[in-house]
Amino acid sequence: MAEKDLIYQVDGQVATVTINRAAARNAITPEAVVLFHSALDQAQADDGVRVVCITGAGDKAFCSGADLGGGMQDDADRRSHFDSYARLISRLAEFPKPTVARVNGHCLAGGTGFMLACDIVIARASAQFGTPEVNVGLFPMMIGALIFRNVPRKKAMEMILLGERLTAAQALEMGLVTRVAPEEDFDAEVGMVLAALAAKSPIGLKLGKAAFAAAERMPLAEAVRFLGGQLVEVAGTRDAREGITAFLEKRPPRFKGE
């Protein structure tokens, strides 16, 4: 599938979703949000896809947030778009396959939601980060739910209330991103992580991600008991048996997602 505002491509076991508006700093339009949902539908349904990479076109911006001039003229339009965006980042945060944000450039405002919804975030060293909504009289509402799940509260509030930009090094220190790579190593670092994820057991990762998402909403004792039961489920898969056999035989496992 290739559309004006979004591109979905599959290369081997990796699906890449690219926000394709480089000239507009990859600002997200309502149409792109709809296409994003469609891309995730395809990635989830395709058993050959084991990992999903989210990125932006060009090398200037990952995503600069919502397109403020993108046709949201009244409250009904804004509510529809924001509801669709909220569903999208919630879905991405609990996606059954591992997700990687390839932050190729500046990541601002609503782009922070896409980034933090991914399991792993790899940023180019020159990228900048921030939530500048307060500078135009807005506030980073929906993405706040993700920010506070990833960043200590005081640092989060400083970023949100001041609306200042952060360097990639500051973002790494805060926990907004998981890795920072220099320009010359960026694509190799992303490729290495994607390949490593694609080599894992699909069913093991799916069950594990779902279990962790559910356990986050439980009290500690309940979560531990629940996760113990989920470990029994994972251990009963064919992939787990293959993984243990391969370990004992000192060979790479051949996972089939069963």
The pLDDT, as a whole number, for residue 70 is: 57
For tokens 């200042």, name the residue.
Answer: 164
Q: Which long-range contacts (CB under 8 A, 24 or more apart) does 42-45 make?
A: 42/1, 42/8, 42/15, 43/8, 43/15, 43/17, 43/97, 44/95, 44/96, 44/97
Instruction: Sketch the domain layout of the chain as residue ranges.
Output: 6-198, 202-248
Q: What is the 3-state secondary structure (H, E, C) of 225-237?
A: HHHHHHHHHHHCC
CA 186/CA 178 separation, integer angstroms = 13
Q: Model confidence over 16-70: pLDDT tens digits?
A: 999 999 999 999 999 999 999 999 999 999 999 999 999 999 999 999 998 876 5
- Tell me the C-alpha to C-alpha distance, in Å, between residue 255 and each of 10, 89, 104, 252, 258: 20, 29, 31, 9, 8
Residues of the chain with pLDDT under 70: 1-3, 69-73
Which residues are designated catalytic? Answer: 133
Residue 155 sits at φ, ψ, to 5 deg, of -65, -40
Q: State the Cα–Cα distance between residues 137 and 154, nearest whole angstrom.
A: 21
Nearest to 50 by CA among 16, 7, 78: 16
Q: How far apart are CA 69 and CA 195, in angstroms?
A: 38
pTM of the entire structure? 0.94
What CATH code is assigned to 6-198? 3.90.226.10
**Cβ within 8 Å of residue 168, ≥6 positions away:** 123, 124, 125, 126, 127, 128, 129, 177, 180
Q: State in Å, rounded, how far the first CA of the chain is from the last one.
A: 28
Structure tokens at 70: 């993108």
Q: Residue 170 burial (CB < 10 Å; 0-12/13-18/19+)?
A: middle
C-alpha 111/C-alpha 237 separation (Å) is 37
